[in-house]
Chain A
Amino acid sequence: MIKDFIEKSRAKSPWMVHFDCGSCNGCDIETLACLTPIYDVERFGVVNVGNPKHADLLMVTGAVNHRNKHALKKIYDQMPDPKAVVAIGACGLSGGVFREAYNVVGGIDKVIPVDVYVYGCPPKPEAIIDGVVKAIETFKAKAREAA
């Protein structure tokens, strides 16, 4: 019974942590805008937290570079299972406009597994919310598998 309760309530209120992985800020401010009254992702039970150890969803923006790939890996490893990752913006998908720059590794999926991709430069808050809702579905499926 407790298992059922955990499974149900976990997917009702997934907490997210946001990490800027070398983006130009455009995607970050749109991700933050999702939390504000006009868009308000809290209606899906999503709360923004600072500590990856408390988080279920990881929102990553930006092209990964050779320095912060270690920080990104560390944050991903610190998150407890089950977890879902959302890559936001053209840079997070492939490196975007910076893909040929010397310090850029490329998309986020070169370092950690990604579940949902949100495209756009930067994506609109509506698109990010759509990504979050899809990630919640993935997260639910993963939680069911783990249980």
Chain B
Amino acid sequence: MSKMTIPFGPQHPVLPEPLHLKLVMEDEIVTEAIPQIGFVHRGLEKLCEIRDIHQMIQVVERVCGICSMIHAMCYCQAIEKQMGVEAPRRARFLRVIWSELHRMHSHLLWLGLYADAFGFESLFMQLWKIRERIMDINEATSGNRVIVSVNVIGGVRYDIPPEQLSWILKELGQVEKELKAIQNTMLNDYTVKKRTVGKGVLDKATAYELGAAGPTLRASGWAQDARQLRYAAFDELDFEPVVETAGDSYARGAVRFRETLQSIDLVRQAIDKLPAGEINVKVKGFPEGEMVARVEQPRGELLYYMKCDGSKHLDRLRIRTPTFANIAPLLAMLPGCQLADVPVIVLSIDPCISCTER
């Protein structure tokens, strides 16, 4: 049988973003996948030379529009740590609330796209309908639906008043109820299982060797979550990483579904323990030296490295995002699968190309 190359992307119905894969096929079976990236590269790391450290918050928020708040939180935490400033306790709890809301909306978005990838359109519509409640909370608390822009160096910009907190709890109760109603379809439906179980298997050892991150890693049996580093207020909250062992597309979906429910619980805990007090502290001067911070993004571990010589501009900003770590595992999953399963498997790592290419 002769080999044939099929292009996948950059503009493809299941991908909201441009990713190009060259699939080397033997009959209907993929034997090799060659990624070609660079369609979303903007070069924003270099913008740190013309924007000062406070303006850079707005730029790093736009590394990725889906988890924008978490990018800014990581950036601010790195600078705060270097300058010896600690964000007030209330600010740290508010950061947890917004970051978990972002995780929920990201996971719901992904679960919807994933359902759409295997042709279950009504499930896609239902999940996105639930997601709108989270977007409403974002809009009510910060004024914007997607890019909430709440972080500043030294704390957060907005406070959440008590009446809004009780409204958030009510909305989350509704989200939980609606998710529980869908749970059986998402996890036990015959159609869903037929399209996902055993597709794109990544075993435990390979996942570790190739440096997978986030739900892709946890679906292969590793209980590793950057929130275990106990940044922000996670040291006072109670949670366990969600782990599945099968390592296939179904397991990755299940991890994300269960993490969404876990995030609801985390927001509830954070609101319950939310202390009174200031929401930010004034920060004077500029950092000096090298800084590193790690946080857990919806897609996995995010790392910021920065270098500054005490002037108002950073010397170097380097962002390592989870999708970049997950591309090597993706290339290991694809060989041996059917062409029809490629969209589901590509989507199962939750690719965020604008994070990867920046």
Contacts and interface: CB of A to CB of B under 8 A. Distances in A.
Interface in A65-97: 65, 67-68, 71, 75, 96-97
B50 A71 contact: no
Interface in A1-26: 17-26
Interface in B35-89: 38-44, 46-47, 50, 58-59, 62-66, 68
Q: Could you tell me the dominant secondary structure of chain B's interface residues?
A: loop
A71 B10 contact: yes
B50 A100 contact: yes
Contacts of B145: 30, 122, 124
B43 A19 contact: no
Interface size class of A (residues with CB under 8 A): 35 or more
A50 B128 contact: no
A23 B128 CA distance: 21
Contacts of B198: none
A100 B56 CA distance: 13
Interface of B: 10-13, 16-18, 38-44, 46-47, 50, 58-59, 62-66, 68, 109, 124-125, 128-129, 132, 135, 145-147, 352, 354
5 contacts: A22-B354, A26-B68, A68-B39, A103-B42, A104-B43
A27 B65 contact: yes
A68 B50 contact: no
A85 to B, nearest CB: 15
Nearest to B65: A26
B41 A24 contact: no
Given A38-B129, A68-B10, A104-B43, A25 B147 contact: no
Interface of A: 17-30, 32-33, 36-38, 49-50, 52, 62-63, 65, 67-68, 71, 75, 96-98, 100-104, 121-122, 124
Nearest to B14: A50
Given A25-B16, A29-B146, A102-B46, A97 B62 contact: yes
Contacts of A98: 42, 44, 47, 59, 62
A71 B17 contact: no
B65 A67 contact: no
B129 A71 contact: no
Contacts of B38: 67
A29 B43 contact: no
Nearest to B36: A67
B18 A71 contact: yes
B146 A97 contact: no
A59 to B, nearest CB: 12
Nearest to A40: B125
Contacts of B135: 33
A65 B40 contact: yes
